[in-house]
A and B are shown apart, each in its own frame.
Chain A
Amino acid sequence: MLAFNALNGVTFAALLFVVASGFTLIFGLMRIVNLAHGALYLVGGYIGLTVATKTGSFLAGAATAAVAIAMVGFLIDTSLLRFVKGYELRQVLLALGVALVLNDLALIVWGGDTFTVPVPGALQGPLRLGAIAYPRYRLFVLAVAVVLFAGLWFLLHRTRLGALIRAGVDDLEMVDAMGVDIKRVFIYTFMLGSALAGLGGTLGGAFLSLYPSADVEILVFSLAVVIIGGRGSLVGAGVGSLLVGMLATFGQVWFPELAYFVIFGPMAVLLAFRPLGLFGRAT
């Protein structure tokens, strides 16, 4: 039972990583706390659901969701956020407004029912791992997260765009002064982060299911991950996801009535000692 719960924790952490890595990228580089990230996750999940149901292909659903949400991210960044550039608090609150609008739009289009994204036959059913049988799909999500971690690491540490993003996280004005078109890097980052939310929505929609308040729930988990891990840090997002995933799963099992407290209690204590998170750096 312990191993089963541990696997539940790790696979939940994997989903959290997919969603929170996008959140932390945007937060780290652009200093924007994108409170619409949860709404992007939910809308992405719904789009993935619709496409996967219509075409019968889970892959097509996930890809469409990622691309569509990247476009939504592009629109939010270029049409709304540019009006409040440089004002941290206004950006956050504007994003909050966007979240409310997106959530209500989703309610109009998909209604208030609970949906589950259909997964291909190969990923259905349990896989025997020694003494326990564990759902294949959740292991698949874990694999996706590992691949994504490696891919993002490669992007950030081995490509020019990644070098620019890292430089932007460390010292934005300096990168700008070097003649780099940081605005374009911003837009790419915002789109990438949004795409990850859309992908996360489809992945999560298959095992957590989609319903109108799912956006706030995943957003709060992502916040916890980023607050614990520190903004803009990929490793921080990974470690934070694992911590939050484990705490959430075991908290649910051991103290069902206080599950929320079990996640956020340690977070609050950590914040009191390291306000920038485990891997965060002062700028």
Chain B
Amino acid sequence: MSRNAVPFAVVAAALCAVPFAAPGYKTSLATEMLIFAALAMSIDVLAGYAGRTSLGHGAIFGIATYVVLYTVTVAGGHPWMGALLGLCAATVAAVVFALLAIRTSGVYFLLITLALGMIVWGICLRWTSVTGGENGLRGSVRPSLLAGPVPFYYFVLAATALMSYAMWRFVHSPFGLTLRGIRGSESRMRTLGYDVSLHLFIGFVVSGFFAGAAGVLYAFFNSFASPATVALAQSVAALLMVLVGGVGTLVGSFVGSVAIISLENFVSFHTERWPMVLGLVFIATMIFAPEGLVGRARLMLARYSPQVRKP
């Protein structure tokens, strides 16, 4: 770890300096990047370490956002109460998703999580009396302590750092090793006496919990939830961040989030063709850099310095 201490300190210092170096709108953009990095990272926990690529995490994320907004604006609860309920709701959703999805793998897993996400989207769109339908829910839900953009940035930074550390510990724990074992060979793990379904279930729920935590932050950030928050596009964008950064690296999620949100911001400023650019980035990533930016960098590093230990 000491080998990485210097770059780690530099990145940490840079992140802390954002509100001074780039005040105003850019700080809010950086806040958004951190939130989506957390969501992408939660997908990477499953995709990179358990070999299960999910297109349903956007929905879990969005459920937390909806619950926070509903608790505060409709039910009149306290924001922290909303945050707690949002986390619980997302975890419950993750339990339901997991129970149905863990029996499958590969593309089938992708399809069932996609379909489950679409159910959530359909309910948010149609159950107008609770979700507000197409209009969604709007209202100031940020705790008064974090009202300003700068305190809020530091709050999100701290929360994201904590979540990243937790996820990093999770995938590098003995339990995380069993997930990697399942990714490598399910039947071998079963033969060794591991309860594969149970491990996948726990992995999914933990990953969903972090997606929900990101959703709570997003509710504080955006103060608005609509069917677009839980739509497939949300899951797709988050998954693309994982892919661009590099699957199975965790750090890649930050790289991907910064890359995609910067690009979105840049493209949207000049043209309305963001969906097309997003599609082209998807195609180009799959063809030219399926291992992602961080994965590619590691490969090159490994080629030029053979003594680097395998990640």
Contact = CB atoms under 8 A, between A and B. Distances in A.
B29 interface: no
B128 A257 contact: yes
B290 A87 contact: yes
Interface in B92-117: 99-100, 103-104, 106-108, 110-112, 114-116
Contact of A97 (B99, B110, B115, B281): B281
Interface stretch (B153-161, B207-215, B270-278): B270-278
A202 interface: no
B127 interface: yes
Contact of B100 (A104, A105, A258, A272): A272
Most buried by B among A83, A89, A107: A89
Contacts of B275: 100-101, 103-104, 107
Interface in A98-149: 98-105, 107-108
Given A216-B232, A257-B128, A97 B286 contact: yes
27 contacts: A83-B286, A84-B286, A84-B290, A88-B107, A90-B290, A97-B279, A97-B282, A97-B283, A98-B283, A101-B280, A103-B275, A104-B276, A104-B279, A216-B232, A223-B111, A227-B112, A257-B128, A257-B129, A260-B119, A261-B119, A264-B115, A264-B116, A264-B119, A267-B115, A268-B112, A271-B103, A272-B100
B136 to A, nearest CB: 16
A259 interface: yes
Contacts of A97: 278-283, 286
B279 A92 contact: no
Interface of B is mostly: helix
Contact of B279 (A100, A220, A257): A100
B28 to A, nearest CB: 26
A227 B232 CA distance: 18
Contacts of B279: 96-104
Instruction: Give 3 nearest A-B pairs by CB, closest first.
Output: A260-B122, A97-B282, A100-B279
B106 A89 contact: yes
Interface of B: 53, 99-100, 103-104, 106-108, 110-112, 114-116, 118-119, 121-123, 126-129, 232, 236, 239, 243, 273, 275-276, 278-283, 286-287, 290
A92 B55 CA distance: 11
Contact of B287 (A33, A94, A96, A104): A94
Contacts of B111: 33, 223, 227
Interface string A244-283: 0000000000001111110011011001100100000000
B115 A93 contact: no
B282 A93 contact: yes
A275 B119 CA distance: 19
Contacts of B123: 257-258, 260-261
A104 B128 contact: no
Interface of A is mostly: helix
Contacts of B236: 96, 100
Nearest to A255: B126
B278 A260 contact: no
B126 A33 contact: no
Contacts of B104: 271, 275
Given A92-B107, A97-B286, A271-B104, 17 more contacts: A80-B283, A83-B286, A84-B286, A90-B290, A94-B282, A97-B283, A100-B276, A100-B282, A101-B280, A103-B275, A104-B279, A220-B115, A227-B108, A257-B123, A257-B129, A258-B126, A272-B103
Contacts of A223: 111, 114-115
A253 B114 CA distance: 25
Contacts, number: 118
Chain A interface size band reads: 35 or more
Contacts of A96: 236, 279, 282
Nearest to A87: B290
B107 A33 contact: yes
A268 B111 CA distance: 11
A260 B276 contact: no
Nearest to A271: B112
A216 B278 CA distance: 16
B109 to A, nearest CB: 10
Nearest to B126: A257
Contacts of A275: 103-104, 108
Contacts of A31: 107
Contacts of B127: 257-258
Contacts of B286: 83-84, 90, 93-94, 97
A97 B107 CA distance: 16
